Amino acid sequence: MIRGERVLLRAAERDDLPRFVQWLNDPIVLEYFGNLFPLSLEQEEKGYEAMLQDSSLCSFAVEFKGRRVGGAGLSSMDSRNRNAEVGLFIGVPELWDQGLGRDVTTMLLRYGFEELNLHRIYLRVFAANERAVYLYETLGFRHEGCWRRGESRHGRYHDIPWMSILRAEWSG
Ligand SMILES: CC(C)(COP(=O)(O)OP(=O)(O)OC[C@H]1O[C@@H](n2cnc3c(N)ncnc32)[C@H](O)[C@@H]1OP(=O)(O)O)[C@@H](O)C(=O)NCCC(=O)NCCS
Protein backbone atom coordinates (compact mmCIF):
# COMPACT_ATOMS: atom_id res chain seq x y z
CA MET A 1 0.00 0.00 0.00
CA ILE A 2 1.39 3.42 -0.93
CA ARG A 3 -0.05 6.58 0.56
CA GLY A 4 0.31 9.82 -1.39
CA GLU A 5 -0.74 13.31 -0.42
CA ARG A 6 -4.32 12.72 -1.62
CA VAL A 7 -4.73 9.15 -2.84
CA LEU A 8 -3.87 5.65 -1.77
CA LEU A 9 -2.49 2.98 -4.09
CA ARG A 10 -3.22 -0.61 -3.06
CA ALA A 11 -3.20 -3.98 -4.76
CA ALA A 12 -6.03 -4.41 -7.27
CA GLU A 13 -8.42 -7.08 -5.93
CA ARG A 14 -10.96 -9.28 -7.66
CA ASP A 15 -13.85 -7.27 -6.24
CA ASP A 16 -12.46 -4.12 -7.95
CA LEU A 17 -13.07 -5.66 -11.37
CA PRO A 18 -16.76 -4.77 -11.91
CA ARG A 19 -15.95 -1.11 -11.23
CA PHE A 20 -12.92 -1.25 -13.56
CA VAL A 21 -15.16 -2.69 -16.30
CA GLN A 22 -17.65 0.13 -15.83
CA TRP A 23 -14.90 2.78 -16.12
CA LEU A 24 -13.14 1.08 -19.03
CA ASN A 25 -16.37 1.13 -21.02
CA ASP A 26 -17.03 4.82 -20.34
CA PRO A 27 -16.58 6.89 -23.53
CA ILE A 28 -15.46 9.92 -21.50
CA VAL A 29 -12.63 7.98 -19.84
CA LEU A 30 -11.78 6.31 -23.17
CA GLU A 31 -11.73 9.48 -25.25
CA TYR A 32 -7.95 9.24 -25.64
CA PHE A 33 -7.13 6.13 -23.63
CA GLY A 34 -7.27 2.36 -23.75
CA ASN A 35 -8.84 0.30 -26.45
CA LEU A 36 -12.29 0.77 -27.82
CA PHE A 37 -13.50 -2.83 -27.84
CA PRO A 38 -16.29 -3.32 -25.34
CA LEU A 39 -14.81 -4.94 -22.22
CA SER A 40 -16.75 -7.69 -20.47
CA LEU A 41 -16.33 -8.70 -16.85
CA GLU A 42 -15.16 -12.12 -18.04
CA GLN A 43 -12.39 -10.54 -20.16
CA GLU A 44 -11.32 -8.37 -17.25
CA GLU A 45 -11.27 -11.44 -14.97
CA LYS A 46 -9.04 -13.26 -17.48
CA GLY A 47 -6.73 -10.23 -17.61
CA TYR A 48 -6.64 -10.22 -13.81
CA GLU A 49 -5.72 -13.94 -13.70
CA ALA A 50 -2.94 -13.34 -16.23
CA MET A 51 -1.69 -10.37 -14.19
CA LEU A 52 -1.36 -12.57 -11.09
CA GLN A 53 1.15 -14.74 -13.00
CA ASP A 54 3.01 -11.85 -14.66
CA SER A 55 6.05 -10.62 -12.73
CA SER A 56 6.65 -7.80 -15.23
CA LEU A 57 3.43 -6.11 -14.16
CA CYS A 58 2.57 -4.27 -10.98
CA SER A 59 -1.04 -3.15 -10.80
CA PHE A 60 -2.82 -0.90 -8.28
CA ALA A 61 -6.31 0.29 -7.49
CA VAL A 62 -6.48 4.01 -6.69
CA GLU A 63 -8.51 5.14 -3.67
CA PHE A 64 -9.52 8.67 -2.77
CA LYS A 65 -11.29 9.42 0.52
CA GLY A 66 -11.90 5.70 1.06
CA ARG A 67 -13.54 5.17 -2.33
CA ARG A 68 -12.05 3.45 -5.40
CA VAL A 69 -11.57 5.98 -8.18
CA GLY A 70 -9.21 4.43 -10.72
CA GLY A 71 -6.36 2.16 -11.63
CA ALA A 72 -2.63 2.54 -12.20
CA GLY A 73 0.48 0.49 -12.64
CA LEU A 74 3.87 -0.26 -14.03
CA SER A 75 4.12 -2.78 -16.85
CA SER A 76 6.71 -4.30 -19.19
CA MET A 77 9.17 -4.19 -16.30
CA ASP A 78 12.56 -5.10 -17.68
CA SER A 79 15.00 -5.91 -14.90
CA ARG A 80 18.06 -6.04 -17.14
CA ASN A 81 17.58 -2.53 -18.52
CA ARG A 82 15.66 -1.31 -15.44
CA ASN A 83 12.88 0.18 -17.59
CA ALA A 84 9.10 0.09 -17.13
CA GLU A 85 6.02 1.66 -18.70
CA VAL A 86 3.66 3.65 -16.48
CA GLY A 87 -0.10 3.93 -16.99
CA LEU A 88 -3.01 5.32 -15.04
CA PHE A 89 -6.61 6.40 -15.21
CA ILE A 90 -8.98 8.19 -12.87
CA GLY A 91 -12.33 6.60 -13.73
CA VAL A 92 -14.51 9.37 -12.29
CA PRO A 93 -14.26 12.40 -14.64
CA GLU A 94 -15.86 14.67 -12.00
CA LEU A 95 -12.64 14.21 -10.03
CA TRP A 96 -10.30 15.29 -12.83
CA ASP A 97 -8.23 18.45 -12.44
CA GLN A 98 -8.04 18.09 -8.67
CA GLY A 99 -4.48 16.79 -8.49
CA LEU A 100 -5.24 13.07 -8.19
CA GLY A 101 -3.45 12.10 -11.41
CA ARG A 102 -0.39 14.11 -10.34
CA ASP A 103 -0.37 12.36 -6.96
CA VAL A 104 -0.74 8.89 -8.53
CA THR A 105 2.02 9.50 -11.09
CA THR A 106 4.35 10.95 -8.45
CA MET A 107 3.84 7.86 -6.27
CA LEU A 108 4.46 5.50 -9.17
CA LEU A 109 7.69 7.35 -10.03
CA ARG A 110 8.83 7.23 -6.42
CA TYR A 111 7.95 3.55 -6.13
CA GLY A 112 9.59 2.72 -9.45
CA PHE A 113 12.81 4.64 -8.83
CA GLU A 114 13.26 4.16 -5.08
CA GLU A 115 11.78 0.72 -4.41
CA LEU A 116 12.09 -1.12 -7.72
CA ASN A 117 15.41 0.55 -8.56
CA LEU A 118 14.28 1.46 -12.08
CA HIS A 119 16.42 3.74 -14.20
CA ARG A 120 13.88 4.84 -16.85
CA ILE A 121 10.07 5.09 -16.81
CA TYR A 122 8.24 5.73 -20.06
CA LEU A 123 4.74 6.09 -21.46
CA ARG A 124 2.74 6.59 -24.64
CA VAL A 125 -0.03 9.15 -24.83
CA PHE A 126 -2.34 10.62 -27.45
CA ALA A 127 -1.07 14.12 -28.31
CA ALA A 128 -4.71 15.21 -28.20
CA ASN A 129 -4.89 14.14 -24.54
CA GLU A 130 -3.71 17.61 -23.55
CA ARG A 131 -4.45 17.18 -19.87
CA ALA A 132 -2.29 14.06 -19.67
CA VAL A 133 0.55 15.50 -21.78
CA TYR A 134 0.63 18.61 -19.60
CA LEU A 135 0.64 16.50 -16.45
CA TYR A 136 3.57 14.37 -17.61
CA GLU A 137 5.58 17.35 -18.90
CA THR A 138 5.20 19.18 -15.60
CA LEU A 139 6.34 16.07 -13.71
CA GLY A 140 9.57 16.02 -15.73
CA PHE A 141 8.82 13.54 -18.52
CA ARG A 142 10.56 14.45 -21.76
CA HIS A 143 9.30 13.86 -25.27
CA GLU A 144 11.54 11.32 -26.94
CA GLY A 145 9.72 10.58 -30.18
CA CYS A 146 6.34 10.19 -31.75
CA TRP A 147 4.33 7.64 -33.70
CA ARG A 148 3.16 10.10 -36.32
CA ARG A 149 -0.57 9.58 -36.98
CA GLY A 150 -0.02 6.32 -35.12
CA GLU A 151 -3.52 5.53 -33.83
CA SER A 152 -6.98 6.13 -35.14
CA ARG A 153 -9.71 7.51 -32.90
CA HIS A 154 -12.94 9.40 -33.55
CA GLY A 155 -12.49 9.07 -37.30
CA ARG A 156 -8.99 10.45 -37.65
CA TYR A 157 -5.38 9.51 -37.02
CA HIS A 158 -3.55 10.96 -34.02
CA ASP A 159 0.09 11.47 -33.11
CA ILE A 160 1.24 9.29 -30.22
CA PRO A 161 4.20 10.87 -28.43
CA TRP A 162 6.50 8.66 -26.38
CA MET A 163 7.73 10.29 -23.19
CA SER A 164 10.18 9.18 -20.53
CA ILE A 165 11.93 10.26 -17.38
CA LEU A 166 15.26 9.00 -16.13
CA ARG A 167 16.00 8.51 -12.49
CA ALA A 168 18.79 11.10 -12.79
CA GLU A 169 16.24 13.65 -14.05
CA TRP A 170 13.67 12.94 -11.37
CA SER A 171 13.54 15.55 -8.65
CA GLY A 172 11.73 13.29 -6.15
C1 LIG B 1 -5.07 11.98 -17.54
C2 LIG B 1 -5.63 11.85 -16.12
C3 LIG B 1 -5.00 10.63 -15.43
C4 LIG B 1 -5.26 13.11 -15.34
O5 LIG B 1 -5.76 12.99 -14.03
P6 LIG B 1 -6.17 14.29 -13.19
O7 LIG B 1 -6.54 13.83 -11.84
O8 LIG B 1 -7.15 15.11 -13.95
O9 LIG B 1 -4.76 15.06 -13.18
P10 LIG B 1 -4.33 16.32 -12.32
O11 LIG B 1 -5.54 17.06 -11.80
O12 LIG B 1 -3.32 15.90 -11.32
O13 LIG B 1 -3.55 17.18 -13.40
C14 LIG B 1 -4.18 17.64 -14.57
C15 LIG B 1 -3.53 18.96 -14.98
O16 LIG B 1 -3.87 19.23 -16.35
C17 LIG B 1 -4.41 20.53 -16.44
N18 LIG B 1 -5.30 20.54 -17.59
C19 LIG B 1 -6.62 20.23 -17.65
N20 LIG B 1 -7.04 20.32 -18.94
C21 LIG B 1 -5.98 20.71 -19.69
C22 LIG B 1 -5.78 20.99 -21.06
N23 LIG B 1 -6.79 20.87 -21.95
N24 LIG B 1 -4.54 21.36 -21.48
C25 LIG B 1 -3.51 21.46 -20.61
N26 LIG B 1 -3.65 21.22 -19.27
C27 LIG B 1 -4.87 20.85 -18.82
C28 LIG B 1 -5.09 20.76 -15.10
O29 LIG B 1 -5.29 22.12 -14.84
C30 LIG B 1 -4.04 20.14 -14.17
O31 LIG B 1 -2.97 21.05 -14.04
P32 LIG B 1 -2.42 21.57 -12.61
O33 LIG B 1 -1.83 20.37 -11.95
O34 LIG B 1 -1.38 22.60 -12.97
O35 LIG B 1 -3.60 22.11 -11.89
C36 LIG B 1 -7.18 11.74 -16.13
O37 LIG B 1 -7.71 12.84 -16.84
C38 LIG B 1 -7.69 10.44 -16.76
O39 LIG B 1 -7.73 9.43 -16.08
N40 LIG B 1 -8.07 10.49 -18.05
C41 LIG B 1 -8.61 9.31 -18.75
C42 LIG B 1 -7.59 8.22 -18.92
C43 LIG B 1 -6.29 8.76 -19.49
O44 LIG B 1 -6.30 9.54 -20.44
N45 LIG B 1 -5.18 8.31 -18.90
C46 LIG B 1 -3.84 8.72 -19.34
C47 LIG B 1 -3.44 7.96 -20.54
S48 LIG B 1 -1.77 8.27 -21.00
All structural domains of the chain with their residue ranges: 2-122
pLDDT tens per residue, range 116-138? 999 999 999 999 999 999 999 99
What does pLDDT average to over the chain?
Answer: 96
pLDDT tens per residue, range 28-66? 999 999 888 899 999 999 999 999 999 999 999 999 999
pLDDT at 14 over 90: yes
Residue ranges lining ligand 1, Cβ < 6 Å: 29, 32-33, 88-90, 96-102, 123, 125, 129-132, 134-135
Q: Ligand 1 center to residue 161 CA distance, Å?
A: 16
CA torsion sign, 26 to 29 to 31 to 36?
A: negative
pLDDT at 171 over 90: no
Q: Are residues 9 and 107 in contact, defined by beta-carbon separation less than 8 angstroms? A: yes
Q: Are residues 106 and 76 in contact, defined by beta-carbon separation less than 8 angstroms? A: no
* 71-98 mean pLDDT: 97
Name the CATH topology of 2-122: Aminopeptidase (3.40.630)
Q: Whose Cα sits closest to atom 17 in ligand 1?
A: 131
Cα 79 to Cα 118: distance, rounded to the nearest angstrom: 8
Query: Taking the model in full, what pTM does it have?
Result: 0.97
